[in-house]
Amino acid sequence: MIGKPITGRSFGGCVRYVVNKQDAKIISAEGVRMQNAGTITHDFNLQRRMRPELGKAVGHLVLSWSKEDLSKLSDEIMVEQAKEYMDKVGICNTQFVVVRHHDREHPHLHVIYNRVDNNGNTITDKNNFAKNVKACKEITLKYGYHLGEGKDQVNRQALKGTEKTRYELFDIIKTTLKQSTDWKQLEAKLHKQGIGIAYKFRSGSTEVQGISFEKGDIKMKGSAIDRSLSYAGINTQLKVNRQMQQQQEIRRPDSLSLADQLREAIRQHGQADQLHLPIDGKGILETLLEPQFVAGPPDPMGDADIARRKRKKHEAEHSQSQGISR
């Protein structure tokens, strides 16, 4: 089960779209007459007058299940779980109408509710997306519904408004996060794409408690975009990226032994097959690595001593030859 929370200004437009759609079926309502779109709109607007300053008084939910769950869902069960969802996200003591549509393969319904409740109080829309994700997951697990395949499977072209922005942020942040190893890198890369980061600090300290992302006039908590984009989630991923980069640097050729560097150089030039070609019974690599004698620098003292000995020997031989000749 997945949900899509929306807020709007016009009950008339929203009600007509939901109620008048082909094969639409009103399956539940509270606080409004169900005769037609006109009576429903009139009753919503009547209660709305208690808070005339509230611009976006229209609450609209789209609740969808996987097509694999169709056999588990009757109108009555869908109504029960729509009410359970509303209770979990704090939509209570207000007018609402539940309408089931049949224009898609997967079962889904629309809930229109008044953000001005029966006592004239405003039903908050803060943290709508985070509360939506939590409620949908709890209901899905509780009743054993089919788990979705994740955000990668969502049709981006079909999204509109805030939900479209949420997925745009998800795609950009996820891609940029893969290319970053610390917060400064991530901030700089996101800034180039028009996305800002706002940190929430624990009261009276510099400890980061949460994170939000801003694009244009829209600001969303990281966890509301996706649970993996909470401050803790991103921080963990940056650490992993850093460790992977360090491991790659350790494996770089300039940190290898001479033998490994030679092997790597030969391999990169496509000459690995020549490693075992014999040269005087030895392979190329063995020949290159074989210790060689290298003459040291001349020893002045040693050279002088040798010359003196040679000179004495020469003089002795010369004297001996002269005595024999006499």
CB neighbour list of residue 140: distance below 8 Å, 6 or more residues apart: 1, 146, 147
**Mean pLDDT lowest for which of 22-31, 183-192, 262-271?**
262-271
- Tell the residue number behind the tokens 């697990």, with chain if given: 141
174 vs 46: CA distance, rounded Å: 45
Q: What is the mean pLDDT of the chain?
A: 84
249 burial (CB, 10 Å; 0-12 / 13-18 / 19+) is exposed
* Token pair for 106: 């997967």
CB neighbour list of residue 145: distance below 8 Å, 6 or more residues apart: 1, 65, 66, 69, 72, 139
Max distance between CA atoms of the chain, in angstroms, equals 154
Considering only residues 105 and 90, tell me which one the structure prediction assigns the higher pLDDT. 90
Considering only residues 301 and 82, tell me which one the structure prediction assigns the higher pLDDT. 82
**Mean pLDDT lowest for which of 78-87, 107-116, 196-205, 247-256?**
247-256
Q: Are 56 and 9 in contact (CB under 8 A)?
A: yes
CB neighbour list of residue 131: distance below 8 Å, 6 or more residues apart: 88, 89, 90
pTM of the complete model: 0.52
**Mean pLDDT lowest for which of 52-61, 184-193, 222-231, 273-282?**
273-282
261 vs 112: CA distance, rounded Å: 69
Strand 218-221: give its sheet, edge to edge. Answer: 196-201, 208-215, 218-221
224 vs 247: CA distance, rounded Å: 33
- Helix (H) or strand (E) holding 302, with range, is helix 300-325
* 282 bridge partner residues: 279
Give the tens place of pLDDT for each residue, 25-63.
999 999 999 999 999 999 999 999 999 999 999 999 999
Give the tens place of pLDDT for each residue, 128-140.
888 998 999 899 9
- Report DSSP letters for 115-183, one per residue: SB-TTSPBPP-TTHHHHHHHHHHHHHHHHTPPPP--GGGS-GGG--HHHHHHHHHHHHHHHHHHT-SSH
Positive or negative, the CA dihedral 165, 169, 175, 179 is positive
- Helix (H) or strand (E) holding 271, with range, is none
